[in-house]
Structures are given as structure tokens and as C-alpha cells.
Amino acid sequence: MITLALALAVLITLLVVGLRVLQRRAVERSLPGRSPSTAIHIENYADIDVAVRMQTCPCGGRFMVRGEGPVTHAGRPLRVAHLECRRCERERSMYFDLTTLRH
């Protein structure tokens, strides 16, 4: 009986932790710049550097740009920056909308 109760407690704990992780990922995907549909509008390329510097990793570290490149989404010109946390090496992509870019 104790083994069954312990197994049930472990199962419930895993379920709760899993749901929290899924919830956190859903919130992260909805933030500005985290997907092509939520791309951040920029007026010059320096805005990309500013947006990257403002990002913090869940571990508390800061991100650095590992690479950038063009991409299109729904006919809009975008730029994607591939980021990596300096502390935990977590990877993240940020999308920027170039439709209002000034050269």
C-alpha cells in the first residue's frame, strides 16, 4: 500500500512539473520576437543588438549572437538571430521584421 501511494505521488509530481514546463514554453513562444509571427519591427540593424542585450536566459545569463540570416514569413522580409546563453549555452532564436527598415 505504501509503495502504491509513493508511486502515485511521484506520478503526480512528474505530471505537475511537465505541465509547468509546457506552460513556460508556451509563454516564451508568445513573447515578441520568439517566432516569425511575433517578429519585432526594427528601423535599423542596431535595434537587433539592443533587443539581444535586453534578453535574459531563465538561468540568469545573457545571450550572445551566434549567427544571423534572412528569412521570409507570409511574404514579409525577416531577419533571424540565433542566440546562445553565455552561462548555460541554451539556444534561442529571435525574429525581426525588416519591412520598416531604414538604410
Is-above-0.85 flag for pTM? no
Sign of CA dihedral 50, 54, 18, 16: negative
pLDDT tens digit sequence for 4-63: 888 888 899 999 998 888 887 777 777 888 999 899 999 988 999 999 999 899 899 999
Whether the predicted pLDDT of 68 surpasses 90: yes
pLDDT tens digit sequence for 74-95: 888 999 999 999 999 999 999 9
Whether the predicted pLDDT of 103 surpasses 70: no
Q: Starting at the edge strand that comes first in sequence, how are the strands of the sheet with 63-73 ordered? A: 40-41, 91-97, 76-85, 63-73
CB-count exposure of residue 95 (10 Å: 0-12, 13-18, 19+): buried
Q: Which of these, 32, 45, 14, lies nearest to 93 by C-alpha position?
A: 32
CB 100 within 8 A of CB 42: yes
